[in-house]
Amino acid sequence: MPEPNPEDVLLLASDAARLVLASGAETYRAEETAQAFCSALGGVEAECYATPTGVLLSFFGPDGRSRSIVRRIKGRSMNLERIAGIHALTRDLYAGRAEFHQAAAGLDALERLSGYPAAVTLAGAAAAAGFFTLLYGGAWNDALVAAPVGALLSRLTRILSRHGISDFFTNITGGALAALACLAAGLAGWASGPDTAIIGSIMLLVPGVAITSAIRDTIAGDLVAGVARGADAFISAAGISIGAGAAFGLWRLAGLGAL
């Protein structure tokens, strides 16, 4: 087996770390993935430093010279299939069951995963919003209002992020839309408690997992990554609340009822 070119290894390992982080995994997982890729492919003393927005990686090649690279991470969204795929790839590479070319092809395939069809995703969003409304004490009719609002929210965020709108404005729009739709349903008499329906549908946007990951990263010793994730969580929550707050204000101004 010919030794892979160190520059190619650097690119592959940093790509793996970037993909792990962009799929929403913990910071230490990205760092350990990059290090495992480098060591398995002939790199020595691999060091990786990852934050939610970028990866730095360096190692010494067989010739004793150091190589390093910086990768920037723009968008992040949870993709567990990708995380599991990269985990399997790392195991294969490390156990010697895969070589450089197989790993590169595998990573490429993981990057282009298609995921669930749009209809299934919509149904998932509707189910999540509806059942969270029930879990948080809503009535049946509230859940039936929250479900389509949830599906609409997941569609809207997907379209907006595809067009490069920043997460902050996506969250403002989402929060306003959810609040207005649930308030209108309450006015029409479809929902008995618009508040629970709003919370249920907004569960799709709120950074509950993000704030928990922030604290997990901090506990694991990735202090910079943890603080960055916490800031991300607070900014998303702020966006959603600004949107919802504006919707409540408009509702009051229009004289449709106090909240």
Site for other proteins in 143-172 (CB under 8 A): 154
Interaction between residue 105 and other proteins (CB under 8 A):
no
Contact 174, 156 (CB under 8 A): yes
Size of the site for other proteins (CB under 8 A): 76
Interaction between residue 245 and other proteins (CB under 8 A):
yes
Interaction between residue 45 and other proteins (CB under 8 A):
yes
Render 94-150 in DSSP notation, one character per residue.
HHTSS-HHHHHHHHHHHHT---S-HHHHHHHHHHHHHHHHHHTT--HHHHHHHHHHH
Q: Which residues of 157-192 are buried (b: 16+ CB within 10 A; e: fewer)?
A: beebeeeeeebeebbbbbbbbbbbbbbebbeeeebe
Render 214-235 in DSSP notation, one character per residue.
HHHHHHTT-HHHHHHHHHHHHH
Interaction between residue 109 and other proteins (CB under 8 A):
no
Pull the structure tokens for residue 90: 């790392």
Q: Of 8, 53, 62, 140, which lies in the binding site for other proteins, with binding defined by CB under 8 A?
A: 62
Q: How far is the CB of 209 from other proteins (least distance, A)?
A: 5
Query: Per 3-state DSSP, what percentage of the chain is helix, strand, and coil (rounded to 5)?
Result: 65, 10, 25
Q: Of 11, 56, 69, 131, which lies in the binding site for other proteins, with binding defined by CB under 8 A?
A: 131
Which amino acid is located at 117 in the chain?
Answer: P
Pull the structure tokens for residue 109: 């395939």
Interaction between residue 84 and other proteins (CB under 8 A):
yes
Alpha-carbon span 35 to 78, nearest angstrom: 22
Sheet containing 44-51, strands listed edge to edge, beginning at the edge strand earlier in sequence: 44-51, 54-60, 66-72
Interaction between residue 40 and other proteins (CB under 8 A):
yes
Q: Of 13, 25, 30, 228, which lies in the binding site for other proteins, with binding defined by CB under 8 A?
A: 25
Interaction between residue 244 and other proteins (CB under 8 A):
yes
191-210 residues near other proteins, rule: CB under 8 A = 199, 202-204, 206-209
Q: Of 7, 68, 91, 257, which lies in the binding site for other proteins, with binding defined by CB under 8 A?
A: 91
Interaction between residue 124 and other proteins (CB under 8 A):
yes
Q: How far is the CB of 195 from other proteins (least distance, A)?
A: 10
Any idea how long the chain is? 259
Pull the structure tokens for residue 255: 């004289």
Nearer to other proteins, 70 or 95 (CB): 95
Nearer to other proteins, 39 or 192 (CB): 39
Nearer to other proteins, 185 or 203 (CB): 203
Q: Of 1, 188, 253, 254, which lies in the binding site for other proteins, with binding defined by CB under 8 A?
A: 1
Pull the structure tokens for residue 170: 């996506």
Nearer to other proteins, 32 or 47 (CB): 32
Q: Of 13, 34, 182, 214, which lies in the binding site for other proteins, with binding defined by CB under 8 A?
A: 214
